[in-house]
Structure 1
Amino acid sequence: MLEQREKIATNIRKGVLEYCVLGSLANDDKYGLELAEELTKRHLTAGEGSLYPLLARMKTAGLVETRWEEGGAGRKRKYYSITEHGRVMLKEFRTVWAEITTQVDELLGGQHGQGH
């Protein structure tokens, strides 16, 4: 049963991860490891290995932009920030997400959060 639950969760995470990244960046620019740690802590990604290819695709799509800054110990860090296009897409996602979660909750009989 736990294996099936994790499979469902993984499929949902894959579908929303890009928007979770945009949501995180909407409040503050972050460097890659910082972003990976936040998403991992929230159980939204397994770590950096899956995040960096996603960030590269998001940059190509014009959703995020990058810049280099000095980090600790003289190392440079690549910071990610959301673009205006990314903000528009995040706003659209929020609307769609609210509609979908409402419809799913209704179909599931309002059992959201009750473990049924």
Structure 2
Amino acid sequence: MESTGDENLDEFLDQVRTKGVEPVSIDPYAGDHGIFGVETELTINGENFTGEVDYEVGDNGIKWYFLEVYLDEDDERKPVLDESSADEIDHLLFEYKPTEEEIQDTLEVLREAYKEAYN
């Protein structure tokens, strides 16, 4: 893995990978200590959606933002997102704010790795 230039962030990302979560689209200069995405599958109103949840390595722990879901033009699941709390950002891009319970497994890994790297 290429270094981010931040020893603690590198250690955190190594710990996360060791625990089975693969961070993608890492930006070490955003947020307090970096922002990265994790490909995630969520069930929203009974339908499965795969997208990327963005997480921030903050001064006080891990913060999460939105699941970004891109749909194909002919995707029949669009009405499900329209009826949920997801915001339509662009014609085929939605942002859905997952609850802590919906991303609990990933959060546990991230929080444990955070304690090992930052405490």
Q: Does TM-score exceed 0.5, indicating one fold?
A: no
After TM superposition, the score normalised by the length of structure 2 is 0.29
More strand by share: 2
Q: Which has the larger radius of gyration?
A: 1
More helix by share: 1
